């Protein structure tokens, strides 16, 4: 049976740029495609709504227990994905960098989408999709970007806005693409010595991916408050 690691590797290979010479290889298109596959599903990895319903069934329709389990599940998945894409250390860093970005984006988007579905949000709504992407920045970064007027509002406000503003799409995707790239390259620079030993480099990468995924999951859990049935 094909596991999450194989799914992410395959998805990353299709979505990430084939030739990586510089940072612009990570595009808003890649981020949007990662979000699409996270919500719709890819290969044997079920879509976010289906995954959410399974978590809910497993926890006897206890939404908050399902949310916690979803976070834990994706944190483990992120750890595996990070280890797989960083296992080569410095030798393969130039090749695996885009795969790492794409794979982690899929995991984290899927986790937030699962939480959103459990809390009553419509995953087909472009406002909700922008909110999911925005959550990937982390609570601290969202606050800073709002102060800098680079994004208009936090995820909850965007998801529940009275109307959809198409102009927000590129702003959000661009900010997320830059943030994902800075995390990976920043981690690579800090752990450069560790990455000279391939196995150690993989452990460093996997741990960082898992920890960031946990932080994003907790933020999404606090930010995306439950929606009542009559709310649209």
Distance of CA 176 to the CA centre of its chain: 9
Asked whether residue 210 is assigned to any structural domain, the reply reads yes
pLDDT in tens, 166-185: 989 989 988 888 887 777 66
Mean pLDDT of the region 27-45: 82
Cα 11 from chain centroid (whole Å): 14
Please count the structural domains in the chain. 1
Residue 33, in any domain of the structure = yes
Record the pTM: 0.78
Q: Provide φ and ψ at 44, rounded to 5°.
A: -80, 0
Range of the domain at 42: 27-192+203-223
For residue 58, pLDDT beyond 80 = yes
User: Stretch 133-156: mean pLDDT, rounded?
Assistant: 94
- Let me know if residue 35 belongs to a domain: yes
Q: Is 56 a member of any domain?
A: yes
Any domain includes 13: no
Confidence grade of residue 118 (pLDDT, cut at 50, 70, 90): very high
74 phi/psi in degrees, rounded to 5: -75, -30
């Amino acid at each position: 049976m094909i596991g999450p690691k194989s799914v992410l590797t395959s998805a990353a290979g299709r979505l990430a740029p084939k030739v990586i010479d510089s940072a612009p290889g990570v595009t808003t298109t890649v981020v949007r495609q990662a979000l699409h596959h996270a919500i719709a599903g890819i290969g044997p990895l079920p879509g976010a709504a289906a995954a959410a319903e399974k978590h809910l069934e497993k926890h006897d329709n206890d939404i908050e227990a399902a949310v916690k389990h979803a976070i834990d599940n994706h944190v483990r998945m992120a750890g595996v994905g990070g280890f797989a894409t960083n296992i080569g250390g410095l030798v393969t860093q130039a090749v695996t960098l885009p795969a790492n970005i794409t794979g982690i984006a899929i995991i984290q988007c899927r986790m937030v989408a699962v939480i959103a579905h459990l809390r009553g949000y419509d995953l087909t709504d472009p406002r909700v999709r922008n909110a999911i992407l925005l959550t990937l920045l982390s609570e601290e970064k969202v606050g800073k970007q709002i102060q800098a007027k680079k994004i208009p509002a936090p995820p909850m406000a965007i998801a529940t806005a009275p109307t959809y503003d198409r102009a927000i799409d590129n702003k959000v995707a661009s900010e997320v693409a830059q943030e994902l790239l800075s995390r990976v390259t920043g981690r690579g620079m800090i752990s450069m010595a560790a990455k000279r030993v391939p196995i150690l480099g993989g452990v460093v990468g996997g741990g960082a991916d898992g920890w960031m995924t946990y932080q994003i999951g907790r933020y999404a859990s606090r930010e995306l408050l439950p929606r009542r049935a009559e709310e649209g």
